[in-house]
Structure 1
Amino acid sequence: MEKVIAIDSELERQYHYADGAIFNVPEPKTVHVIADDRGVTHRVISRNGRTYRPERNWIGISWLPAAGEAPFVA
């Protein structure tokens, strides 16, 4: 199963891990949420076209909305 969500209202997205590590995605445009037999993973496409794949097992996700944008879209 894959779901594509427009997140271009975000300036930045961060994935947080139990060991304190943070995976940062600047200027995200879309997130592809992919569920398979190992769980859920993401592919994030930035505005410049770069694809990011954060490691599974994040404990949280945070983001910073652009000025004037809603605090979240999904």
Structure 2
Amino acid sequence: MTNVEITTEVWREYRYANGDTYRIENPRSLWFKTDDRGDSHRVLDAEGVTHYPRRGWVAITWSAPSEPVSF
């Protein structure tokens, strides 16, 4: 897995085709990998909780006021 720091983000939100959303407050690092099913990733937040957004999201939005295009 490869780690990328995303401490400039205040929140990030994943959107799914069925209208579901998954929001992560205060993300700190993003870990990504490629496997036989395609790319996947995990996000570690400021509380030390690891999130694994389910596959199939169609859009992602985030707020990073100091670096709007931070990744």
TM-score class, shorter-chain normalisation, is: over 0.9
**Is 1:71 aligned to 2:68, yes or no?**
yes
Task: Give the Å deviation of 1:65.
Answer: 1.2
Letter of the structure 2 residue corresponding to residue 72 of structure 1 = V
How many pairs are equivalent? 71
**Normalised TM-score (structure 2):** 0.92
Q: Which runs of 4+ in 1 moved over 4 A?
A: none
Please give the secondary structure, in 1, of the residue aligned with 2:10: strand
Measure how far apart 1:61 and its partner are: 0.8
Which TM-score applies when normalising by structure 1? 0.89
Unmatched tracts of structure 1, length 5 or more: none
1:23 counterpart residue number: 22
Question: Distance in 2 between the 1:6 and 1:70 partners?
Answer: 12
- SS of equivalent residue, structure 1 residue 4: strand
For the 8 Å contact 2:12–2:23, the answer to whether it is kept is yes
* Aligned sequence identity (%): 32
Structure 1 residue 71 displacement after superposition: 0.2
* Residues 1:42 and 2:41 aligned together: yes
Stretches of structure 2 that go unaligned for 5 or more consecutive residues are: none
